Amino acid sequence: MKNQKVIDVYNGLVIKFKELISEYELDHDDYQALVNWMDQLGRAGEIPLFMDVFLETHALQEMYKSVKGTEPTILGPYYIEKTPVVQNPGILPQRENEPGDVLYFSGSVKDVDGNPLANTKIDMWQADANGEYSYFAEDIPDDNLRGVFYTDENGYFEVRTVVPGNYSIPADGPTGQFLKWIDHHPYRPAHLHLLFQPEKGDKLVTQIYFEGDQYLEDDVAQGVRGTLITKLDKHAGAEKGLKSNYYTAHLDFELR
C-alpha cells in the first residue's frame, strides 16, 4: 500500500544526503564504510541502542518544542511492557539482597493546571546499582527493578527501590566504535525511567536524574532536562528501622 509519509521523508532525506556528500566531499569508500558499519550495527542487535542514544533526544526535542509541564525525554532501548503491578506505597521487584542504597522515590502527578491526577498508571524501570538492566544482563532475574503502580486519590505515589548506578552503554560493539570516532565516553548519569499514562490526557515518557551527578552535563544520550533533576537526600537508617542509611528523592510531575 502506498505510503505518502514514506515518500515525503525519503525524498527529503535524499536532498539532505546529497548536501552532506558535497559539503564533506564524501567518496565511494566513505559510502561503503557506512554500509559496512550499519550492517555490523544490525548484526550486533544494536540498532535500537544506537538510535536511542544518538537520535531519540533530538527527535523528541523537535516534536515537543514548547510543551508545558514536565519535559519528555528518551524512552531508551530497555523498556519492557507488562511488568508486575506493585502497591502504592510499594516496593519495586528486587532480589533479596539487592545491591545498592535503599531509595524511597516519591512524586505527585498533576495536570498543567495543578489538579491532582488520581489513578495515573506509572511504569518504572531502572538499572541496578551496577548499572545493569534486567532482561539485558544475564545474571539478573526478569522484572528486577521494573514495575507498574497507580497514583492514589491525591495523585501521589511512593516506591521503594535502590539508587541506580551510573550507566555505561555497551562500548565494545559498533556503537562503541562510533563513540571512539566521535571521541565521546559511553556514560549516562544515573536515572530512573518513568512512563505516565493518565486516565485522560497525554502520556509522558520521561526520566529523573540526581543533582551532583558527574555526567549531567555530559550525558552520552543528551537526555537530561532541567525539570527532571531532583535531589538525593541521605537519612540515618535507624529512622526506618534499617541497618544502613537510606535516601529519599521527590519530584512533582505535571502532565499535559
Establish whether 104 is a catalytic residue: no
Instruction: Say how far apart CA 236 and CA 246 lie, in whole Å.
Output: 7
The residue among 72 and 77 lying less far from ligand MBD, judged by its C-beta, is 77
Active-site residue (options: 78, 193, 246, 247) = 193
Establish whether 193 is a catalytic residue: yes
Instruction: Output the smallest distance, CB 134 to ligand MBD, in A.
Output: 12
Instruction: Output the smallest distance, CB 241 to ligand MBD, in A.
Output: 33
Per DSSP, what are the bridge partners of residue 252?
108
Give the DSSP H/E element, type plus range, for residue 136. Answer: none
The residue among 194 and 221 lying less far from ligand MBD, judged by its C-beta, is 221
Instruction: Say how far apart CA 64 and CA 195 lie, in whole Å.
Output: 16
Unique residue bearing C-alpha cell 525524498: 11
Residue 57 and residue 73 in contact, taking contact as beta carbons nearer than 8 Å: yes
Establish whether 250 is a catalytic residue: no
Binding site for ligand MBD (CB under 6 A): 49, 52-53, 74, 76-78, 167, 169, 188, 221, 223
Instruction: Output the smallest distance, CB 193 to ligand MBD, in A.
Output: 6
Nine-digit cell at 83?
A: 511488568
Establish whether 191 is a catalytic residue: yes
Which 178-207 residues touch Fe ion, going by CB under 5 A?
none
Amino acid at 128: D
Instruction: Output the smallest distance, CB 48 to ligand MBD, in A.
Output: 9
Query: Among all residues, whose Cβ is closest to ligand MBD?
Result: 76
Q: Does 76 bind Fe ion (CB under 5 A)?
A: yes
- Choose from ligand MBD, Fe ion, none: what does 249 bind? Cβ within 5-8 Å by kind: none
Establish whether 225 is a catalytic residue: no
Active-site residue (options: 78, 104, 133, 209) = 133
DSSP 51-89: HHHHTHHHHHHHHTTT--SSPP----TT--SSPPB--SS
DSSP 158-190: EEEEEPPPPEE---SSHHHHHHHHHT---EE--
Residues labelled as active-site residues: 133, 167, 188, 191, 193
Q: Residue numbers of the site for Fe ion (CB under 5 A)? A: 76
